Amino acid sequence: MQINSPTQAPDLSKGVRDCGACQIRHRAVCARCEPDELARLDEIKYYRTYEAGQTVVWAGDRMDFVASVVTGVATLTQTMEDGRTQMVGLLLPSDFVGRPGRDIAPYNVIATTDLMMCCFRKKQFEALLGSTPHVSQRLLEMTLDELDAAREWMLLLGRKTAREKIASLLAIIARRDASLNLRPSRGRMVFDLALTREAMADYLGLTLETVSRQMSQLKRDAVIELEGKRRIIVPDFDRLIDEAGDDSDGGFLA
């Protein structure tokens, strides 16, 4: 089985070919790069776009690229021998996909929304790491942040109530949106929730009915406001954090 070809959708990457103007530049693997390092990355980068629902790579396939998510959301899933599937992670804008030194993809990567990725040819990227210390340092930081987040997620899945799980997920997405847009994570916050209720249920280990009920209760208690199908308004972010059961600095890494 091979990696799916990118969709033939319009080229969403036209506005971000200049690394200096990229909307994820301050958070991505290239965040600490000097101009000469950016130029070297630019020589091996290309963009891929995927439609919502399209598989980027299947677990067990050879992955010949690494990438940063520029826009959109993807899920990481694992399928058991009996066919059961578990969502094990979310890929949000600026998250890194793939691992240098590992040729085989450990998870299915599936586009939840229309997705654009800034890709680097894997062998060339691996060769570049030895001579671009700022990329290596940032990649290590991102890997350690991912490890911390996974440990926090174990707590969420094992100990938190359904209401706390929903609030925690909303807080994570709100913080990431604020970080990408260089806004503070406090006070009133507005963001778009790309995940469907079904995807939230899969990720949080809840039923669809429980997710819908808890979202309605958070709305009824004025913790959140819903505008249309996707837009979430948080009147007071500190109150959402309280509902999530996190400490004063939020607990979860954004």
Percent pLDDT > 90 in the chain is 46
Given this model, what pLDDT does residue 17 score?
A: 61
Q: 41 by DSSP, 3-state: which?
A: helix
Would you state the pLDDT for residue 81?
A: 82
Residue 7 has pLDDT above 80, yes or no: no
Residues 6+ apart with CB under 8 A from 179: 27, 185, 254
- How does pLDDT run across 208-235, given as a tens digit for each residue? 999 999 999 999 999 999 998 889 999 9
* Residue whose C-alpha is closest to residue 40's, from 134, 114, 109: 134
Domains and CATH numbers, the chain: 12-141 (2.60.120.10), 160-244 (1.10.10.10)
Residues with Cβ within 8 Å of 70's Cβ and at least 6 positions away in sequence, in order, are 13, 16, 22, 23, 24, 47, 93, 116, 117, 118
- The proportion of the chain whose per-residue pLDDT surpasses 70, expressed as a percent, equals 89
- Per residue in 28-59, pLDDT tens? 888 888 888 888 888 899 999 999 999 999 99
Using DSSP, state whether 75 is helix, strand or coil: strand
What pLDDT, on a 0 to 100 scale, did the predictor assign at position 174?
93
For all residues of the chain together, what is the average pLDDT?
Answer: 85
pLDDT of amino acid 20: 67
Question: 0.85 cut: is pTM over it?
Answer: no
- 122 in Cβ contact with 63 (< 8 Å): yes
Q: Which two tokens stand for residue 116?
A: 């654009």
With bands split at pLDDT 50, 70 and 90, how would you rate the model's confidence at 250?
very low
